[in-house]
Homo-oligomer: A and B are copies of this chain.
Amino acid sequence: MDISTVIGLVVAMVAIIGSILAGGSLMIFVDVPSVLVVGLGLIGTTFIKWPMESVKSIVQIGLKSIFATPADAKQVILKIKDLAELARRESVFALEKAEIDDPFMKKAMTLAADNRPPEVIAAILQMDIDSMEARHTTGADIFGGMAEDGPAMGMIGTLIGLVQMLQNLSDPSAIGPAMAVALLTTFYGAIIANVFCNPIKNKIKFRSADELTAMNIVVAGTLGIVAGENPRMIIEKLSSFLPPAERNIGEEGGGE
């Protein structure tokens, strides 16, 4: 679980809800028509902007950015080390039966066990990497688009409320509450954009870079295993993907 996303969402919601409760009831900030105009409007514009299949994937991408454990390059390298030692001890064919959680690494090892030529393995895995990157880029773009459309639908909702209020000023005591309700859609739009969509877009971009590193490690490691390289050598090479402070994986200094 990506603990910083969860902490961030909780802290931001506590700040906003706490600030509301400090001044009165939470209920005056809930208005069903206002929720509908912003929510449905945002769904509508998102459907216009993107093809069906992209829209469908957005919930999954959003949840993943919140709950998925981020790829840990160090763990990936250690797992590759185990697999390289297994391939050395037994043979490349033993990789077929190795227990591997990550489907991409599983696929890479199956290809290795199938004795495919290295350039074929690299090409097939690269397609998966490209596809992951395209999916994440579209995901980040969709969240970025919603961060623009949320406040836009909020403003449209507020304009509707203002026009209706201004057309009916006969009861002065109704003006305040009517304006309050009109402002709610702007409030919803601001929260959608600034607390959810923009931050999640940023996290998706960051995660995509992490995942790319992890996948590149798997590709480099698999090619090393297929080439029958020494596991120690493989690990040393892979550790160049890590930030300097974490490179002491093999318990040896970064020798030549």
Chain A contact residues, CB within 8 Å of chain B:
2-5, 7-16, 18-20, 22-24, 28-29, 33-34, 36-37, 39-41, 43-52, 55, 70, 116-117, 120, 124, 127-128, 131, 134, 145, 148-149, 152-153, 155-157, 159-169, 173, 175-177, 179-180, 183-184, 186-187, 190-191, 193-195, 198-200, 202-203, 206, 210, 240, 243-245, 254, 256
Contact B19 A36 (CB under 8 A): yes
Contact B47 A11 (CB under 8 A): yes
Contact A120 B167 (CB under 8 A): no
Of all chain B residues, the one with the shortest Cβ separation from A191 is B156
Contact B44 A254 (CB under 8 A): no
Contact A194 B153 (CB under 8 A): yes
Complex CA–CA separation, A116 to B40 (angstroms): 54
Contact B33 A23 (CB under 8 A): yes
Contact B176 A167 (CB under 8 A): yes
Complex CA–CA separation, A161 to B41 (angstroms): 25
Complex CA–CA separation, A16 to B154 (angstroms): 11
From the candidates B9, B167, B183, name the one contacting A162 in the complex (CB within 8 A). Answer: B183
Of all chain B residues, the one with the shortest Cβ separation from A41 is B15
On chain B, the residues within 8 Å of A70 by CB distance are 51
Label chain A's interface by main secondary structure: helix
Of all chain B residues, the one with the shortest Cβ separation from A12 is B44
Copies in the complex: 5
On chain B, the residues within 8 Å of A39 by CB distance are 15
Complex CA–CA separation, A4 to B210 (angstroms): 32
Of all chain B residues, the one with the shortest Cβ separation from A184 is B163
Complex CA–CA separation, A37 to B167 (angstroms): 21
On chain B, the residues within 8 Å of A156 by CB distance are 16, 187, 190-191, 194-195
For the complex with contacts A4-B51, A9-B48, A16-B41, 20 further pairs of A-B residues with Cβ separation under 8 Å are: A5-B47, A8-B45, A11-B40, A15-B40, A19-B34, A19-B37, A23-B161, A28-B164, A41-B195, A45-B194, A45-B198, A49-B198, A50-B206, A116-B256, A127-B244, A156-B187, A156-B191, A162-B183, A163-B183, A168-B176
Of all chain B residues, the one with the shortest Cβ separation from A202 is B49
Contact A176/B180 with A190-B156, A195-B44 known, Cβ cut-off 8 Å: no
Contact B194 A166 (CB under 8 A): no
Contact A50/B4 with A33-B19, A120-B256, A190-B152 known, Cβ cut-off 8 Å: yes
In the complex, how many angstroms separate the beta carbon of A157 from the nearest chain B beta carbon? 6
Contact A40 B12 (CB under 8 A): yes
